[in-house]
Copies of this chain bind each other. A is one copy, B any other.
């Protein structure tokens, strides 16, 4: 997958932008949860988050040949739920805004230790 939009060569495909915002937000949610618990990142038991909902506003086409920067902000931590808002920028311009509701994964859903994930 090149990341190019199939209809608009030279611009980043919107589904990839959604994927980047999704990944960045669940990672940010986990980091915030570790911090809120006063724990070091990555310590056991691991805190993992899945996406309950994803919203992306596409403000302008995102150029394919530029470095992309995503900045997330923790809007709210409430129990197992973390809300993360973010911007995706290229060349200093915000191209997309995201809002993700991330939920901490129950222990039962986690893959067993040592699994290839």
Contact = CB atoms under 8 A, between A and B. Distances in A.
Interface string A23-40: 100000000000000000
A7 B112 CA distance: 11
Oligomer: number of copies? 2
A79 interface: no
Contacts of A15: 15-16, 18-20, 22-23
Nearest to A53: B57
Contacts of A18: 15, 18-19, 22, 54, 56
A47 to B, nearest CB: 12
* Chain A interface helix/strand/loop/mixed: mixed
A113 to B, nearest CB: 13
A53 B15 CA distance: 11
A6 interface: yes
Contacts of A56: 18, 51, 53-55
Interface string A56-91: 111001000000000000000000000000000000
A50 B95 CA distance: 14
Given A9-B115, A51-B56, 16 more contacts: A1-B1, A5-B117, A6-B117, A7-B48, A8-B50, A8-B117, A13-B19, A14-B51, A15-B19, A15-B20, A18-B19, A18-B22, A50-B58, A51-B58, A54-B55, A55-B55
